Structure 1
Amino acid sequence: MPTPSESRLKGPRLDLVVAFLMLSDTLLSGVAKASTDGLAWYGWPLLALGPLAFPLWRRYPRAVLLVTVGALVASGHLGVGPLAAVPALVAIAVAMYRGHRRLTVSLVLVVSAVTMLGNWSAAGFHFTGAVMEQSMLVIGWLHVALISGESRRQRDAYMAEAEHTREEAVKRKAADERVRIARELHDSLTHSISVIRVQAGVALHLARKRGEDPPPALVAVEEAAKDATRELRETLTMLRDDEGHRLSRVKPLADRYRGLGFTIELECEVDETAVLDQEVDHAAYRIVQEALTNAVRHSSGDRVRVRVRRGEDALLVEVADNGRPGTVVPGRGITGMRERVDALGGALDVGPGEYGFTVTARLPMPANVIADRAVPEPEPPIPAPTAATELGRTR
């Protein structure tokens, strides 16, 4: 459990602390440079620009990256030392973590080329060991920041997926346990209650056949057996069922992926009160989950749109990210989605769309679900008990 001090150093407060530390480093480099060789007046705002812009990275990560790297390039000729590059390195790692890989990699390559060209020019265009050493030091740190941000992003995506898998395993184990309990109850109680009901029914039938009034106690036993059978059937149904619609849990699923730096727009027309086939509901939830996981892992964008709508005869699922669509190589995730859709007789389309890379699934719904009956059918009346019918139910 986090301590109060740890809780206070999260979010914007942590950003301000990091910005203050980076500002102290850059200004310290400026003071050291000014005390020895002097520092131009415009060097101070360039050194302060990156740290002051850093607290805005959560809302404007790309703008912060451009400003910070631009300040680094502009102040490169001042010779203020390696501490001045810390804000740019942090901004590069953060931008990679947020998924802006194309822009970040491009900037790193440009800065690397400018660094190499600047050191070469300063040496009179003589390619020496000192030029190589100075250039590779800067280029190496730029790539370390690049790799650090991407590795942390992949790690968080893996941890999120592992957490989802663990949750599903726990739920699956709980469902298996409920089924086991239901089976045990069925085997132990249903048979005994059925025998009681058969015996009471046969006794009542014989009494009425002889023209006698059945004993009230015997009538009460038969009624109690009927009630017990009905209640036991309802209990077993509840134990076998899952805990509500899976699609009603899409919002918490999207919230977990938002923690990885993606803006997720969610439109879901299915809630706990909706009448939905269990297999369609399960398949739709898995498609949304897999598509979100693919977006976090492979998308170059930062925004995902999730839409779940009910058509006249099918459930429509669309997950699209604003990354640049490329060549689709079906992996286990897309193959699994296609197998789920094919099993239900639906259609799956994966590839470029008007928004970006898009996964679209159409899942047909059974006719009894399309009717969407608000009132359940009444339970059929139990026929008059006979030895033949009751014994048939016990098998």
Structure 2
Amino acid sequence: MSIPSGSRLSGLRLDLVVAAILLSDTLISGAAAAVGDGLAWYGWPLLAAGPLAFPLWRRYPRAVMLVSVGALVAVGHLQVGPLAAVPALVAIAVSMYRGHRRLTVSLVLLVSAVTMLGNWSAAGFHFTGAVMEQSMLVIGWLHVALISGESRRQRDAYMAEAEHTREEAVKRKAADERVRIARELHDSLTHSISVIRVQAGVALHLARKRGEEPPPALVAVEEAAKDATRELRETLTMLRDDEGHRLSRVEPLADRYRGLGFAIELECEIEETAAIDEEVDHAAYRIVQEALTNAVRHSAGDRVRVRVHHGEDALVVEVADNGRARDFAPGRGLTGMRERVDALGGTLDVGPGEYGFTVTARLPMPDPPAPAAAIPAQAAETGGTR
């Protein structure tokens, strides 16, 4: 039966449970000593000091270790039994795990020397088998705690490095695959599209040379070949260097559309060196590109306003044209925008605005806003498909 994730012990709750177990061990040890030869009144707070300090180990591991070991040394002459040493052993392992090796090793060596000296003094400064046995038992457990904390720290460091190595291998494999795809696209598509473009250009040139009006279909073929060549080149660039389209390239993008007779007003607050998530950066550029393409093809206007700026917690992209604002039908362009925005947890608003037909995308940076709004699916009777 699986345990719900919310019921698993972690963090402070786990620390409190461990502290309660340690406290019960020391109290049992104290009770056993009290039933036998009796226990001095100060023995109880010393036994409880280590367990009560344990919940603070995440913030103050060295202080917890010093308190626990100090309490153990203080009750050493009371003959409280081995369970009283458990909090100190746990604190030593925890301090070693947190990387405080110099202090922890020094403290363990000091306590080992004090233990040996105390047992030797109790035996009248005669080395006997009992002295060695009692001393080595305590010193051995101290070193076991020391080695346990260090081995766990080394294991976690190794696992973190292995995970990092695995992620790097996955990234390298993905990069190699992108290069392979780019190579295949270049070899298969670029050549064919270039041939189409050249043949269409030659046909147009011959028609004009003969004084004939070029067929509209042939003109459309040449324009489509130019667009396809440019888009394919940009896609190949994205696949090869994994940088994709950056918002710093919005100005050259707008210049290309200005060459088609559109007056484009551009306001981009995002600097080239701005720290922006790559996915948000790429999606914002693509939204501007698609919105400009829609404006050129379907708006029947002559002016476009592009604004890219930071909102309270999102990157806001707004593209508005002065063409038809009401009669439109969502096509593949708007559907692609919505998919990009939805994937990032943003919102997309499309429709009439103060300026005209307006596309407004809000891409979260970094906190995700509310789920993306659906694009109005109005059937266009006279407008084009955007």
Q: Whose Rg is larger? A: 2
Q: Tell me the residue number matched to 1:271.
A: 275
Distance 1:6 1:82 in 2: 36
Q: Tell me the residue number matched to 2:204.
A: 204
Q: Is the 8 A contact 1:115 1:135 kept in 2?
A: yes
Distance 1:54 1:2 in 2: 30
Q: Tell me the residue number matched to 2:64.
A: 64
Distance 1:168 1:244 in 2: 20
Which moves more between the two structures, 201-210 or 70-79?
201-210
- 1:125-136 pair list within 5 angstroms: 125-136=125-136
Q: In structure 2, do the counterparts of structure 1 residues 9 and 170 end up closer, same or farther at CA, with 3 Å as the change threshold?
A: same
The answer to whether structure 1 residue 47 and structure 2 residue 51 are counterparts is no
Q: CA deviation at 1:212?
A: 2.1
Q: In the comparison of the two structures, how many residue pairs are matched?
A: 251
Distance 1:67 1:116 in 2: 21
Q: CA deviation at 1:202?
A: 1.0
Distance 2:277 2:96 in 1: 41
Q: Tell me the residue number matched to 1:116.
A: 116
Q: CA deviation at 1:211?
A: 2.2
3-state secondary structure, aligned to 2:211: coil
Q: In structure 2, do the counterparts of structure 1 residues 173 and 2 end up closer, same or farther at CA, with 3 Å as the change threshold?
A: farther
Distance 1:234 1:163 in 2: 33
Q: Tell me the residue number matched to 1:85.
A: 85
| One-letter amino acid of the counterpart of residue 123, structure 1 | A
Distance 2:154 2:3 in 1: 27
Q: Is the 8 A contact 2:237 2:244 kept in 1?
A: no
Distance 1:2 1:242 in 2: 41
Q: CA deviation at 1:94?
A: 0.2
Q: In structure 2, do the counterparts of structure 1 residues 204 and 243 end up closer, same or farther at CA, with 3 Å as the change threshold?
A: closer
Q: Is the 8 A contact 1:23 1:48 kept in 2?
A: yes
Distance 2:4 2:107 in 1: 39
Distance 2:106 2:40 in 1: 30
Q: CA deviation at 1:231?
A: 1.1
Q: CA deviation at 1:7?
A: 4.7
Q: Is the 8 A contact 2:197 2:225 kept in 1?
A: yes
Q: Is the 8 A contact 1:15 1:54 kept in 2?
A: yes
| One-letter amino acid of the counterpart of residue 124, structure 1 | G
- 1:1-395 pair list within 5 angstroms: 3-4=3-4, 7-242=7-242, 271-272=275-276
Q: CA deviation at 1:233?
A: 1.1
Q: CA deviation at 1:195?
A: 0.6
Distance 2:81 2:65 in 1: 20
Q: CA deviation digits over 1:105-158, x for unaligned, max 9? A: 010000000000000001000001111111000000000000000110011111
Q: Is the 8 A contact 1:244 1:272 kept in 2?
A: no
3-state secondary structure, aligned to 2:154: helix
| One-letter amino acid of the counterpart of residue 208, structure 1 | R
3-state secondary structure, aligned to 1:125: coil
3-state secondary structure, aligned to 1:142: helix
| One-letter amino acid of the counterpart of residue 272, structure 1 | I
Q: In structure 2, do the counterparts of structure 1 residues 238 and 91 end up closer, same or farther at CA, with 3 Å as the change threshold?
A: same
Q: CA deviation at 1:240?
A: 2.0
Q: CA deviation at 1:100?
A: 0.6
Distance 1:135 1:4 in 2: 46
Q: Is the 8 A contact 1:19 1:52 kept in 2?
A: yes
3-state secondary structure, aligned to 1:158: helix
3-state secondary structure, aligned to 1:40: coil
Distance 1:202 1:168 in 2: 49
Q: TM-score scaled by structure 1?
A: 0.61
Q: Is the 8 A contact 2:93 2:150 kept in 1?
A: yes
Distance 2:117 2:76 in 1: 12
Q: Tell me the residue number matched to 1:248.
A: none
| One-letter amino acid of the counterpart of residue 276, structure 2 | E
| One-letter amino acid of the counterpart of residue 235, structure 1 | T
| One-letter amino acid of the counterpart of residue 197, structure 2 | R
RMSD over aligned CA atoms reads 2.0
Q: In structure 2, do the counterparts of structure 1 residues 244 and 229 end up closer, same or farther at CA, with 3 Å as the change threshold?
A: closer
Distance 1:273 1:89 in 2: 46
Q: In structure 2, do the counterparts of structure 1 residues 145 and 243 end up closer, same or farther at CA, with 3 Å as the change threshold?
A: farther
Q: CA deviation at 1:236?
A: 1.4
Q: Is the 8 A contact 2:26 2:47 kept in 1?
A: yes
Q: CA deviation digits over 1:316-339, x for unaligned, max 9? A: xxxxxxxxxxxxxxxxxxxxxxxx
Q: TM-score scaled by structure 2?
A: 0.62
Structure 2 unmatched runs, 5+: 246-272, 279-386
Q: Tell me the residue number matched to 2:262.
A: none
Q: Tell me the residue number matched to 1:318.
A: none
Distance 1:83 1:109 in 2: 21
Q: In structure 2, do the counterparts of structure 1 residues 210 and 5 end up closer, same or farther at CA, with 3 Å as the change threshold?
A: closer
Q: Is the 8 A contact 2:238 2:244 kept in 1?
A: no
Q: Is the 8 A contact 2:235 2:244 kept in 1?
A: no
Distance 2:17 2:238 in 1: 52
